[in-house]
Amino acid sequence: MMVERADYVVIGAGSAGCVVASRLTESDATVVLLEAGPKDRHPMIHIPAGLRTLQHHPVLNWNYETEPEEMTGGRRVYWPRGKVLGGSSSINGMLYVRGNSQDYDTWAQLGCRGWSYDEVLPYFKKSEDFRGKGEDEFRAKGGVLAVEPYRTILPLTHKFVEAAQQAGYDFNEDYNGRNQEGVTYSQNTRDHRFRASTAQTFLKAAKGRENLKVITGAYVTKLIIENKKCVGVAYRIGNKDFEVRANREVICSGGAINSPHILQLSGIGPAEHLKKLGIDVVHDSPGVGANLNDHFVVRLVHKVKGVLTLNQIADSARVLPEVMKYAIWGNGALTFGVTTAMVFCDSREGLASPDLQLLFAPASSSIKVVGKLDKEPGMTLSICPVRPQSRGTVMAESPDPMQKAVIRPNYFGTEDDIQVMLSGIKQGQKIFDQPAMKQHSIGEEVPGKPIETAEDCVEFAKARGVTIYHPVGTCKMGTDAMAVIDPRLKVNGIEGLRVIDASVMPGVTSGNTNAPAIMIGEKGAAMILEDARG
């Protein structure tokens, strides 16, 4: 078996892992970065509108599914996750949403010392090259991560923003700035015409550094632990097994599904569960795989008239002009992700920060096939409670590392989650009922009937509820008995091992999770370098 050495071994070249590897190699430390997927050479990765072709890609996507649950009507919910350099930042909708300042202040109050908003803000700013309007106190230019407003906006999106203001929501120029609340246009991780994944930004910045080695197609089978110290990683390429030993530390950046799975396969997790699988217990850590927190959404869909949508552009002679716009000027519909405008709002009075995100798209998609646009023109508003109380699990079901973990999200596990969703549906319907939108609506297609009670909301969710792709929390940071890692991101009970990815979040942030995962990568890498200096 081939064995090599590096100062640091990073597992997973995703939203956080690419950041960690890039920042560590700014020092003289040697780093090996392991990625299960291939290089990010597929052209649809780099064209923003190409994301729809990646949602079920057999090579670039892990193609997870949840277990059937009562609140999904016995359905399995499809969970795409990136399996390629850049991870999910290479296949996502590119929204740059930091979350609310209160999210991070709550983490600090829960015992995550050093993770208040004032303490994480410098790491958001460190990454960023923001090309829109914002206050210097909160935004930054010159970082490696390009963040841009949309270059082209269809008139229907402007109508949505107008309708939201007619419904009483204030316009917000920058939801990543001083205040989050209000109706706003989306900001995206895009560099002019191209997607700005962490592979094309952070990893590209490290290209040519002799102290970084990136190995693709490397499927991690377990951590090598000796006397409660993680000393390396075992991985497989094809049918050949390899090891890489760490002189200093191993960093697990596999994300909210793979990180807890790798820990469990390595004997770190709930002891009784591991014993049932025949896995030798190295450290009893009951929180590994627990605390799964995800954003569950339902979508309001209207058919439209008298205005252009992505449905017509994708299914007509309009495609060619859009290709020309993209090729010559780097604008047009091919620069679109999914969501073009949003509303952050409260489900009820008296809240300190918004607990709802309403995401607008000037398009409608097939219910049955993720990413496939309908033939008829439409518009969609996704209703997303951003601070769900429900918690689920990600658990190994076999000692075989090639068998996927079992995902049980426990959607709608609390009455509060149902009530917040119900409020969001009613607020979304109110926006669609304003003059600016009503003039273009042929009528509501989904849900297509009144949603007035909690029972109506549950019935709707059972039939149509889906993920919006933000799983976090399964290697929770904290100081309580269920915490997997400490606030320095070190795995409790094991020396030389950290987890640095979205799985460390105590709870999901109030919005999309790519930007927070990148921040965690930035802060985690800084902690490693600081600790190495003593």
Contact 324, 318 (CB under 8 A): no
Looking at the chain, how many residues does it have? 534
- Both tokens of 331, joined, read 């604008």
Alpha carbon 445 to chain centroid, angstroms? 28
CB within 8 A of 15, min separation 6: which ones? Answer: 86, 87, 88, 89, 198, 255, 501, 502, 514, 517, 518, 521
Total Cβ atoms within 10 A of residue 376 = 15
How buried is 443 (Cβ within 10 angstroms: 0-12 exposed, 13-18 middle, 19+ buried)?
A: exposed
Q: What is the 3-state secondary structure (H, E, C) of 364-390?
A: CECCCCCCCECCCCEEEEEEEECCCCC
- Measured CA to CA, the distance from residue 234 to residue 428 in angstroms comes to 49
Residue among 387, 461, 479, 395 at smallest CA distance from 422: 461
CB within 8 A of 258, min separation 6: which ones? Answer: 12, 62, 220, 405
DSSP output for 392-453: BEEE--SS-TTSPPEEE--TT-SHHHHHHHHHHHHHHHHHHTSHHHHTTEEEEEES-S---S
- Both tokens of 255, joined, read 């994300």
- Measured CA to CA, the distance from residue 310 to residue 302 in angstroms comes to 14
CB within 8 A of 215, min separation 6: which ones? Answer: 32, 33, 34, 35, 235, 237
- Secondary structure of residue 123 in the 3-state scheme: helix
Active site residues: 470
The H or E element spanning position 184 is: strand 182-185
- Measured CA to CA, the distance from residue 124 to residue 514 in angstroms comes to 11
- Measured CA to CA, the distance from residue 475 to residue 421 in angstroms comes to 27
The H or E element spanning position 109 is: helix 101-109
- Secondary structure of residue 199 in the 3-state scheme: helix
